[in-house]
Structure 1
Amino acid sequence: MRNTASFLIVVGFLILWEISARIIDKAFILPSPLQIFIRLWELKEVLFLDHLPITLLSIVMGLTLSIILGTAIAVWMSLNSSVQRAIYPILIASQMVPVIALAPIFVLWFGYTIWSKVAVAVLITFFPITVNTFDGLSSGNKDNEELFLTMGATKKDIFFKYSIPMALPHFFSGLKVAVTLSVIGAAIGEWLGAQAGLGYFSRRMMTQFDGAAVFAPIIVLTFVGILLFICVTHLEKRMLNWRTKS
């Protein structure tokens, strides 16, 4: 029932968009969904063979580094309260600076290489992973931990057999947010400084006043984000199947 409602909302939105675009009749400003999908089909080889792999590489590299960096910082903060008090405010402050303002700086530092896009993706995605993982590691019951200690468990045992399983649902919650943000981060990085990629292609088409071609890469990026979210959700169900069995 919910899927049917979502489908009807999307269809209704597309119909309204199509009608509005035909009334305005300025495709370089507001192309219709039909025009966009026709242009997407015409540009499929350029988008999917030339630009999509570069954007996917930026997304995967950014997510990988964010997972490594975010979980490492979260574990460090959970094990040391002094580190938590020192680093947590810095994490918050890092999200106060607009990414759109830092992206040109990354281009200045790394040039028009993939690393400027990866840096933007990391900056945007590591925060939800770090915060959610830290919350998960800190969500354990102290009484349970003391019980484990009295039963002969070491702190290492408690961390790997109690804290980590408790943190995994929180980690996946952060990861589901991060995968969608990684697409945005890669696109922003390519939009502001790149020689290839879907974001770069969209910006290039804007200079040619090809409205449908500007939207076409955005449609591809949207489906990439949805697919990544579905993959993470599937992985979460596979790794956390013990929650449904208990």
Structure 2
Amino acid sequence: MKKLQNIANKRRSRFVNTALTAAWLIFLLFVWQGVTAGFHISEWMLPKPTEVWQELKSLQWMVWPNIWQTAKEVLIGLAFSIVIGAAIAVFMDMVPVFRMLVRPLLVVSQTIPIVAIAPLLIVWFGFGLQSKIIVVILICFFPLALSILEGFQTVDDDLVKLLKTMHASKWQLYRKVKFPAVLPYFFSGLKIAVTYSVMGAIIGEWLGASEGLGVMLTRATKSFMTARLFAISAVIIGLTFLLYGAVECLQRLSAPWVYRKEDHQ
């Protein structure tokens, strides 16, 4: 009975925190509206939230194709990032020498500014979808590989030894012990990768594209259309939250024991 009460209290607490966060954001919007209206700030310097909303409504006819273009780059890039990051992490876990040789290269790959590499990708792969996907992969595979590798290193050694005494194959070892144990770490890395992926797609579109939210953002900036700039930024934020929420739901479906453990703590 006490455990059920604790679970109910934790869920109620999460609901209250969510409601308070929403109320705080609404309050900030009212403050923004009041300051811009009270001090008569020009729209091109800082538009009112109502002006941003009106601009967003006026963009409906053209924003959806651009959302789809950016989402396509993000989703394909994320899919490849998961495969590449997971493969690198598995090989690093299986072969210590490979881990010793590759890990420094992974760190070095993240120290090079993506804006320095992206123009080269445009030259090599053109202005199409391929170069944008590669930018997303370069940004996203690192947190995934590192998170999965960290998860492998936290696997219970006693369980591994037990399966080895039962003559389990390497595939059985990974399927029965390592992959389930690494799921929470994988989703932690995926949440980071999701937030980076939209940014990567936008950077790729900045440097050369015919459509996408990054293209709309660049055109609005060059035209000093500040309300449109804020409206497109709001769409980008919404897309990022949508992807993050999808990952959260996927984690709840594939690793429900993590949330049950949190509820019982």
TM-score by length of 1: 0.94
Bigger drift between 204-213 and 57-66 goes to 204-213
Mark the runs of 5 or more structure 2 residues left unpaired by the alignment. Answer: 1-15
Query: Aligned to 1:170, which of 174, 179, 185?
Result: 185
2:68 alignment partner AA: P
Structure 1 residue 24: Cα displacement:
5.6
Match of 1:45? Answer: 61
RMSD across aligned positions (CA): 1.6
- In structure 2, how many angstroms separate the alpha carbons of the residues matched to 1:236 and 1:7? 23
- Between Structure 1 and Structure 2, how many residues are aligned? 245
Instruction: Quickly say closer, same or farther: Cα 1:11–1:98, change in 2 above 3 A.
Output: same
CA contact (8 A) 2:78 2:137 kept: yes
Q: Note if 1:70 corresponds to 2:68.
A: no
Match of 1:91? Answer: 106
Match of 2:5? Answer: none
Q: Note if 1:35 corresponds to 2:84.
A: no
- In structure 2, how many angstroms separate the alpha carbons of the residues matched to 1:192 and 1:215? 20
Structure 1 residue 19: Cα displacement:
3.0
2:100 alignment partner AA: R
Match of 1:153? Answer: 168
- In structure 1, how many angstroms separate the alpha carbons of the residues matched to 2:239 and 2:217? 15
- In structure 1, how many angstroms separate the alpha carbons of the residues matched to 2:61 and 2:50? 19
1:36 alignment partner AA: V
Q: Note if 1:214 corresponds to 2:224.
A: no
User: % of aligned pairs identical?
Assistant: 33
Q: Note if 1:226 corresponds to 2:229.
A: no
Match of 1:18? Answer: 33
1:120-135 paired onto structure 2 within 5 Å: 120-135=135-150
1:169 alignment partner AA: P
SS in 2 for 1:28: coil
TM-score by length of 2: 0.87
Q: Note if 1:179 corresponds to 2:179.
A: no
Deviations 1:64-102 (A, max 9, x none): 110111111011101000000111111111111112222
1:26 alignment partner AA: S
Match of 2:8? Answer: none
Structure 1 residue 157: Cα displacement:
1.6
- In structure 1, how many angstroms separate the alpha carbons of the residues matched to 2:20 and 2:240? 21
CA contact (8 A) 2:36 2:46 kept: yes
Query: Aligned to 1:114, which of 125, 129, 141?
Result: 129
Deviations 1:107-147 (A, max 9, x none): 22222111221121111111111100111122212222112
Deviations 1:197-230 (A, max 9, x none): 0110111122221111112221111111101111
- In structure 2, how many angstroms separate the alpha carbons of the residues matched to 1:28 and 1:189? 26
Structure 1 residue 245: Cα displacement:
5.8
Deviations 1:8-43 (A, max 9, x none): 221122122223333262222321211111000001
Instruction: Quickly say closer, same or farther: Cα 1:38–1:169, change in 2 above 3 A.
Output: same
Q: Note if 1:136 corresponds to 2:158.
A: no
- In structure 2, how many angstroms separate the alpha carbons of the residues matched to 1:40 and 1:245? 40
